[in-house]
Chain A
Amino acid sequence: MVTSSILVLFLLGLTAAAVLAAASKVLHVKEDPRIAKVEGCFPGANCGGCGYPGCSAAAAAIVKGDAAPEICVAGGAEIAENIAAIMGTEVSFKEPKVAQNICTGGSRANLLFDYEGVEDCRAEALLYGGEKSCGIGCIGMGTCVKVCSFDAIRLNADGLPIVDMNACRSCGKCAEVCPTGAIRVSGMTMDLLHLNKVDDCLAPCMQKCPAQIDVRTYIQQMKQGDMRGALLTMKERNPLPLAVGRLCPAPCETICRRNIADEGVAIHTLHRFVADWEMNSGSRVRLDCNPPSGHRVAVIGGGPAGLSCAYFLRRIGHEPVIFEKRESLGGMMKGIIPEYRLPEKVVEWEIQTILDLGVDVRNGVEFGRDVTLESLEKEGFEAVFMATGAWKVPGLGIENDDAEGVVDAVTFLDEVGESIDALSGKRIVVVGDTNTAMDVARSAARLGADVSALISCIQRKMSANKNEVKRAAELGSDLKFLTEPVRVIAEDGVVKGVEYRELQYDDPKKATGTPKPVEGTETVLDADMVVIATNRLVDVDALKDQNGEPLFEMDKKTGGIKADKTTLQTSIPHVFAGGEAHTGRNIIIQAVADGRRAARAIHHYVTEGEIPEPKNPQLRVIPESILKNMQVVYNIPRIRVPEISVEERRSTFKEEVKGFVEYDEARKEGSRCLRCGLTCYDAEAGAEYAADPDVSRFDESGKE
C-alpha cells in the first residue's frame, strides 16, 4: 500500500518532470537575453509614457533598435545610462519635463450651475464644458490625480492640481485625460519657446505684452518672497529685465484690470525691482542651459534683439555667435540711450549674464564687409538672425540740411561725453517727436545748452513716452508743439539758426490726420546746432551683396527687412530678421520678443527643417478677458518711485529714477495685483493691507 502510493506519486512526478524538461528543449523560443535585462532596468510602472504598451514592449523595441535607450520617461538619466550600457550605445541628452497646471482659477471662477454627478472631470466636461464659466480652466474633480501612476499630483484646498516636481515622471497621462487642457507636460525648450495661445489662461497684461511675460506669476512670486523664482519667470520671456525695467513704456499697465477700480499695477516698477534685486545682490541667479546640440547660428547685431535671440538659442542648447560691428555689445542700449535712463554698468551686467551662458561674440565684425551670408554658411552656420537695428536718421530734406552743426541724434547721443561734453550757452534745436529727440533735449540741457524742440504734432500724439516728454520739459526745454522746420539758416556753411512754421490739424479738437502748415507763421530761431531726431530707419545700403543687389525683400510700410510675422523668416529660408531691422523704430520689449520668436523658428528650422505654424496663437486681446464690471474691494494707492530732484538732474547724468524701492513697498504694490486669469480675478486682493491708513474700501470711498 505505502509502496504503491509512493511509487505512483514518484512516477507521476518523474513523468511530469521529464515532459517539462523535454518540452523546455523542444519548445524553446529564442529570446534575446538583452530584452529581459533591459526590462529589468525599467521602473516597471507600465505607464505608457514612452508610447509603447508597457515596459516589456518598450524593452523589445529598444533591443530591436526601434527606440532610443532614453525613451523611458519614468526612469531618469541613470536608467537610460544602464540601458545604453546593455545595448552598447551612447545616451543622447533628454530634456527633463514636468507636468504643470496653468489654471489659477479654483474657487474664484464663476459657476454656471451646480454639478452633482459622477466625480470625474471628463464626465463633468460633457455637461456644457463643466460648471465653471471659464472654458479653459481646471474642472477640479481630480481625474489627473487618479490616473497618475506616480502619485505626483494632489489637489490643493482650492481644488487645483499641484504637481510634485520630483515625483512627476512626465508620462503625460494627466494631460491626456484632462478635458480642458489645464494640465500640460512641458520641458525647458517648450517653456522658453511657447507662443501664447488663445486657450492659455492669459491675464490682459500677458496678452498685451509683446514679449508675453508671465506678469501674474512673477508678481505673486515676488510677493511671497521668492525673488529667485520671480526672476526666473521673467527670464523665461525676457533676458534683459534690467533694461526693459527701465526703458519699457509698459503697455501692460494701461490694460491692467485694476484701471477699472483705481490705477493699473506698477508692473514696470516691479519688473525693475526684481531685476535690480539680482544685480544688487552681486551674484547671478543660475540659468539652466541644455548641453550643446551642435547647431551653430550666426546672430548679426548685438542689440536687444540679437542678445535675446542668442540667449534663447543658447538656453535650449544651440550655439549662437554674435557678430557686432561696434566695439561693445548692447546696440542702442550702449552709449546711445543716455546714462540717466539706462546706466552703462547696468547694461554691462546684463550683457555679461547672457555671455556667461556660453554665447560667443566677435566684435568689430561688420556684416557685408567682414562677413557675408556665403562666408557664414561656409563657416558652418545653419541659420542667420539679422538684428542690425535701425540706426540711420533720415535728413530733413530742407535747405542747408548738410551745414556744419546739423547732426543726427544717434551721432549726437553717441558723442555726448566724448567730443560733445560742454554746451554751456549754446542754443540747440531738436527736430522730432521721438524718445530719441527727448533724450537729445535732456542730454543737451544737462550740458548747459538752451534747448528748443520742434515737434510736428500735439503731445498726446507723440511717439515718445509721456514720462520722457515730461522729464524733458522739467529740465526747461522749450517744446514747440505743432511746428516744423522750413529751412536751416547757415553762414559759410555753419548753422546759425532754423526757420520754422506752425502747423494745425484740419479739426484741432479731434486732432486726426496730418497737421497742415499755417501760412505766415514763419519764425526764425537762433541755433548753434540742429539735431535731427525725426525717425530712425534701417540702413538699406548695408544689406546688399557684392554686386550691389539688395539681399532681402524690404517691407514698404516699416522700411525694414520683410519677414513672416510669426516665424520672422525672410525671403532667404535660413535667414531670419527681427528687432528694429524688421519692424523699424520700435520699443525695446518688441526687440526682445522678436529675438525669442526668431529663436523658436530657428530651433525648429535647424532641428526639423521646417517651422510649424503655432496653433490658435493669441494675436490680439481676447475680448472675453476684458471685463466691464468688477468688484474690487480694496483701494490701495499705487507705489511712488523715488526720483532725483529736477535741480540735481541739471548737473549730473546719474540715473533719474532711483532704484531703491523697499521690499515692503514692492510687496504692497504686488498685493494690488488681482492675479487675473482669463476671466477670474481676486476681488479681495490686498486684504492683508486692509488696516493700513492709506488703504480704503471702495464701498466706503463712494466709488463703485
Chain B
Amino acid sequence: MEYFLLFISAIFINNIVLVQYLGACPFMGTSKSTDVALGMGGAVIFVTLMATAITWPLHQYVLIPYGIEYLQTIAFILVIASLVQFVEMFLKKAVPPLYKSLGLFLPLITTNCAVMGVAIMVQRNGYSFFKSMMYGLASGIGFLIALVIISAIRERLDISPVPRVFKGVPIALIMAGIMSLTFFAFQGMAA
C-alpha cells in the first residue's frame, strides 16, 4: 500500500512539473506536437531511472562516509552528465532503433532539473534504494503525462481562433497554469 501511494502521489499529487514546477523548460519547449512529447517523456523516464540508480549509491557510499553532502549538487551534475553521454554512446552501438527514437532528446535532458530534482529529493526524503527507483519511475511518468496533455492542447490551439497576442507560448503558459490548478485538486488526497 505504501508503495502504491508513493507511486500515485508522485504521478498526480506531487506531479513533478505541474505541482513541483521542475522541468518547466522542456515542458514548454518540446510540447508543440504529441509525437515529440512522447519521445521526450520516454527519454525523461529512462534518464531519471538511470540517474537515480547511480546517484543513490554515490550519495550513500561516497558523500555521506566522507561527510561531504554539501557537494551533492555538483557531484550529481557531474555524474548524471557523464552517465547520459555514456548511455547515448551505448545505445548508438547496441540498440540503434532506441537511439533513433530517443537520440534527439538525450542530450537535451543531460541535467534537466526534473532529473536532478528527483535525484536530490529521494535523498532528502531518505528513501531506500528500491523506493527511490519507484519514485524516479513515477515522477518520469508524471512528466510524460503532463507533457502529452499539454501538447495535445497546444495542437488544438494551433487551429483555434486565438487572439494574435496570445498565439504560441503565451497561450501555452496560460494552459499550463490552468493544468497546474487542476492538478492541485489532488492535494491532500494522500500523503
List A residues at the B interface (Cβ < 8 Å): 1, 4-5, 8-9, 12-13, 16-17, 19-20, 23-24, 27-29, 118-120, 123, 146
Contact = CB atoms under 8 A, between A and B. Distances in A.
A16 B82 contact: yes
A5 B71 contact: yes
B4 interface: no
Contacts of A16: 78-79, 82
Contacts, number: 54
B89 interface: yes
Contacts of A123: 159
Contacts of A8: 62-63, 66, 68, 71, 75
Contact of B85 (A12, A20, A29, A118): A20
Nearest to A17: B82
Contacts of A17: 82
A666 B58 CA distance: 88
Contact of A4 (B66, B74, B79, B82): B66
A27 B71 contact: no
B79 A12 contact: yes
Nearest to A143: B159
B161 interface: yes
B68 A27 contact: no
A5 B58 CA distance: 14
Nearest to B90: A27
A9 B78 contact: yes
Contacts of B89: 20, 23-24, 27
Contacts of A13: 78
Nearest to A26: B93
Interface in B69-127: 71, 74-75, 78-79, 82, 85-86, 89-90, 92-94
Given A8-B62, A20-B86, A23-B86, A120 B159 contact: yes
Given A8-B62, A23-B86, A29-B92, A118 B159 contact: yes
A9 B75 contact: yes
Contacts of B159: 118-120, 123
Contacts of A29: 92-93
11 contacts: A1-B68, A4-B68, A8-B63, A8-B68, A12-B75, A12-B79, A20-B86, A23-B89, A23-B90, A28-B93, A29-B93
Interface string B146-172: 000000000000111100000000000
Contacts of B58: 12
A120 B156 CA distance: 11
Interface class of chain A by DSSP: helix
Nearest to A120: B159
Contacts of B66: 4-5, 8
Interface in B27-72: 58, 62-63, 66-68, 71
Nearest first, the 9 A-B pairs at minimum CB distance are A16-B82, A27-B93, A120-B159, A27-B89, A5-B68, A118-B159, A23-B89, A4-B66, A29-B92
Contacts of B158: 146
A22 to B, nearest CB: 10
A12 B63 CA distance: 11
B161 A20 contact: no
A140 to B, nearest CB: 15
Given A27-B94, A118-B159, 9 more contacts: A8-B62, A12-B62, A16-B79, A20-B86, A23-B89, A27-B89, A28-B93, A29-B92, A119-B160
A19 B90 CA distance: 12
A99 B58 CA distance: 59
A5 B69 CA distance: 10
Contacts of B93: 27-29
Contacts of B82: 16-17, 19-20
Contacts of A146: 158
A671 B130 CA distance: 83
B80 to A, nearest CB: 10
A1 B85 CA distance: 31
Given A29-B92, A120-B159, A123-B159, A19 B62 contact: no
Contact of B78 (A1, A5, A12, A24): A12
Nearest to B99: A29
B76 to A, nearest CB: 10
Contacts of A20: 82, 85-86, 89
Contacts of A28: 93
Contacts of B79: 12, 16
Contacts of A19: 82, 86
Nearest to B91: A27
Contacts of A9: 71, 74-75, 78
Contacts of B74: 9
A142 to B, nearest CB: 11
A4 B63 CA distance: 10
A459 to B, nearest CB: 63
A12 B68 CA distance: 13
A17 B94 CA distance: 21
Contacts of A118: 159-160
